[in-house]
Amino acid sequence: MTPSSARTDGHTAIVVGSGPNGLAGAVLLARAGLRVTVYEQSDTIGGGARTGELTLPGFRHDLGSAVHPLAVASGFFRKFELSKRIELITPEISYAHPLDDRPAGIAYRSLDDTADRLDETGVPLPGGGFARGDGNAWHALFAPLVEQAQRVAQFTGSPLLRIPAHPLTAAMFGVRALEQGTPLWDARWRDAVAPALFAGVAAHSVRPMPSLATAGTALALATAAHAGGWPIPRGGSQAIVDALLADLLAHGGEVVASHPVRSLSQLPPADIVLLDVVPRAFVDMAGDSVPSWFRSRMLDYRHGDGVAKVDFALSGPVPWRDPELRGAPTLHLGGTRDEIAATEREIASGRHSDNPYVLVSQPSVVDDSRAPDGQHVLWTYTHVPRGSTVDQTEAITRQVERFAPGFRDVIRASASRTAAEMEGQNPNYVGGDIAMGAATLWQLAARPTLSIDPWRTPLPGVYLCSSATPPGPGVHGLAGAYAARSALKTVFGMSALPHLGLTEGSTT
């Protein structure tokens, strides 16, 4: 029994939605002594962190997230000791970025190795050969952040309205975001490889660039790449969900699958209700019980553009033109930074791109449990206008073939989902918006509303805990943990959190 659990014995909590945030909130509430029930509308739990056979028997694909830098950076997962519960395979290459006529940019876990590689693939000289590249510039950009990686993770994983625990780290991060998120973004670079490498990560935000949001995304993810790496869970993302579920069940919680909740009135009485849903779904569930002013704020919440996803079963490895890419679990395709920026502008204007940005994960190069011997799975998505019904199989195949001639020859099968079908799979992905909200600067501060406690709703005991609340998208569990913490403090006056690790210990 935790020091605070006696105050919650006999009390109950309900969580709607079993994504990583919903489960993280459920775990924290169960550890605090509440009797927790999780309701999930699908017949399988996990939300955007599920794994299944989408193409052929024996090929295990991640339905949503695939690579997990936040599994080691997240404060919740560190306290939960996730790395002791599942096997996280952390490769030497965090991500890579192929180019047409140059060696690929490669971000290694080692910042020094990354800088050396950028220097070796420097500016082409008129008479042949290459001048020294942007290794020093890359190192200078990231070295101070990597040295303070946990503080960076704490800052980027906290609501923007909170006073930073480490203001100097926040300022250092902010200065770099101002540089790379404005027309000054060319000032540091003299070659094409480093800015392309940066743009590939920035495009995770699904926003036009340069902007403070795209720069902040790139800085946070690339810092994690050089600090803890970008790990892949053995067996797929489902392993993270299974670890959360096991802890919840071990502490008396239960999960009820195939149980959609359309209205809060359907729920049994409970002291705390966490909703792992987007704002518009909350309005639908709350009905007339929600005040009009809050309803308006929720309905004003903007969703971003979408993604279309294609999974491939392959007879062999992807034949990348650059052999070093065959060991890179994550790649960003789309060419130079200017090409990627142009593509993202097209998407924001409501048009599909002929030169799509493609995020690629090839987990089977490090995890042999994902495909039959000698064969591979390939996970891809591309950005499309929100709500798109256009199948992107050919567009993605063509872009991979651009950097891996012969790719078509190793495809055994594929499974495609348009942006509209992504929402059909997970209602939180409105129009295919896997970030659950446009990553504008305003919505990073007001997510989903401007408040020092943005998880709390005007309804007593009811809290939002999806990625539409701080700190936003990603498999980190923090939105659920923050919502549960707010609920425990407001409803029960608890300021100390229960121990979350595998071994018994004091509260944190």
Q: What are phi and psi of 494, to 5 degrees?
A: -90, 125
| CA dihedral sign, ordered 106, 108, 112, 113 | negative
SS (H, E, C) 165-200: CCHHHHHHHHHHHHHHCCHHHHCCCCCCHHHHHHHH
CATH number, domain 88-232+305-425? 3.90.660
β 358-361/462-464 pair status: unpaired
The total number of residues written for the chain in this structure: 508
Give me 236's structure tokens.
Answer: 């797929």
pLDDT value for 1: 32
pLDDT value for 161: 63
**Separation CA 400–CA 382 (nearest Å):** 11
Among 31, 3, 1, 8, smallest CA distance to 480 is for 31
Is residue 495 helix, strand or coil?
coil
What lies within 8 Å, CB to CB, of 117 at 6+ separation is: 105, 106, 108, 135
pLDDT value for 216: 94
Paired residues of 381 in beta bridges: 309, 359
Decide: 97 and 104 in contact? Cβ < 8 Å.
yes
Q: If 0-12 CB within 10 Å is exposed, 13-18 middle and 19+ buried, where does residue 394 land?
A: exposed
Paired residues of 96 in beta bridges: 106, 331
Ranges of H-type helices in 311-378: 337-348
SS (H, E, C) 127-164: CCCECCCCHHHHHHHHHHHHHCHHHHHHHHCCCCCCCC
Within the chain, all domains assigned CATH 3.90.660 are found at 88-232+305-425
What lies within 8 Å, CB to CB, of 432 at 6+ separation is: 305, 306, 307, 308, 384, 386, 387, 388, 418, 419, 420, 422, 423
Task: Please list the pLDDT of the chain residue by residue as tens digits (508 residues).
Answer: 343 444 566 799 999 999 999 999 999 999 999 999 999 999 999 999 999 999 999 999 999 999 999 888 899 999 999 999 999 999 999 999 999 988 999 999 999 999 999 998 766 667 666 667 899 999 999 999 999 999 998 888 877 667 777 889 999 999 999 999 999 999 999 999 999 999 999 999 999 999 999 999 999 999 999 999 999 999 999 999 999 999 999 999 999 999 999 999 999 999 999 999 999 999 999 999 999 999 999 999 999 999 999 999 999 999 999 999 999 999 999 999 999 999 999 999 999 999 999 999 999 999 999 999 999 999 999 999 999 999 999 999 999 999 999 999 999 999 999 999 999 999 999 999 999 999 887 888 889 998 999 999 999 999 999 999 999 999 999 999 999 999 999 999 998 889 999 975 433 3
DSSP state of 227: H
Give me 267's structure tokens.
Answer: 């729920």
pLDDT value for 299: 96
Q: What is the pTM of this model?
A: 0.93
Within the chain, all domains assigned CATH 3.50.50.60 are found at 5-50+237-303+435-492
**Top-level CATH class of 5-50+237-303+435-492?**
alpha beta
**Separation CA 114–CA 47 (nearest Å):** 34
pLDDT value for 5: 41
